[in-house]
Amino acid sequence: MCTALSIKTADNKVFFGRNMDLAYNFNQRVLIMPPNYQYQDKVTGNVVINHKAIIGMGTVIDNHATFAEAMNKDGLACAGLNFGGYAYFEKESVEGKLNIAPYDLIQWALSNYTTVAEVKEAIKEIELVDAPINSETPVATLHWMLSDKSGESIVVEKTVEGIKVYDNPVGVMTNNPTFDWHLTNLNEYLFLSPVHHKKSVWSNKELHSLGIGSGTLGIPGDFASVSRFVRIAFIRANIPSINSDNEAVSQFFNMLDYVKMVRGGAMTEEGVEDLTIYSSCMDLDHGIYFYRTYDNSRINVIDIRKENVETTDIISFPYLTEQDYNFQN
């Protein structure tokens, strides 16, 4: 389970990120993939050369780097979220298509393209193939949200019906079912409002007993993906004007907290706690990656502009989980 989000400031700067909801860690850390980094395509066996500097949260398995979410130097960003029960990937390569593994879709998009519009066109030429990195690592069931510096956003899903690309007018995404279903389901919540209802529509009496927030009565409060989609879409639709980068980062993480999964709230079928192991936010204009972890609420910051990306090796940073404190006396 996960939640992805994009927001825009008053001066049209875009911030993009996500909650990573998992019952386990995947040896994650912030990675920078430099231009000219090379890796083997697990579908074709060919060597792939990266073309743009990419920063995001990822892992390296058998010398193969993959990202959970990332952005490139041009401000194009992508996040992969669980799509269990719906995702379908081809068992064999499809002739006439550019065949790639699902876990390489983020690198493919961010290595080659600058805008969502470019990706939307290029998606027509690819196919996603069920080719695991190794025998111990099955292919994750994913779908993807992409955003760019213009604020344009799309969702990419591959089901048994093929690859579908949806325009994303609400700027959010969670998990299953399919994205078009989520958009239709929002029509069930047209009554929601941040404005307090002062009087009952039935009796015209004052509603003091309900207190502030009565306009949100009926909003789903559980951890299910359908409910998280409604909550984060509602908050984003009513976001006030954001007037600085610092305000954007603060607002972004607080919005993600609204759909955060906490220990004790949800269990997997195996009886393991599912929780938000980290939350991330990316400044698409400046190439700055922010994240905080479940056990360390401090916001950690990595600026791709401060790194020498002339190397051909992956640059990685420690994943910080131990809580630190600001002692004021």
Catalytic (active-site) positions: 2
The answer to whether residues 82 and 139 touch, using CB atoms and an 8 Å cutoff, is: no
Among residues 65, 181, 84, 98, the alpha carbon closest in space to that of 142 is found at 84
Contacts of residue 18, defined as CB under 8 A and 6 or more positions apart, other chains included, come to 2, 3, 4, 5, 68, 69, 79, 81, 256, 279, 280
Among residues 150, 149, 57, 145, the alpha carbon closest in space to that of 105 is found at 145
Q: How far apart are CA 29 and CA 70, in angstroms?
A: 12
Among residues 158, 181, 156, 186, the alpha carbon closest in space to that of 170 is found at 186
User: In which element (H, E) is residue 229 found?
Assistant: helix 225-237
Three-state DSSP state, 190: coil
Query: How many Cα atoms within 13 Å fall on the side-chain side of residue 27?
Result: 8
Beta bridge partners of 172: 5
Residues shown for the chain: 329
Q: How far apart are CA 98 and CA 69, in angstroms?
A: 22
Q: How far apart are CA 210 and CA 215, in angstroms?
A: 10
The answer to whether residues 197 and 207 touch, using CB atoms and an 8 Å cutoff, is: yes
In the numeric block, which tokens belong to residue 132? 């695991």
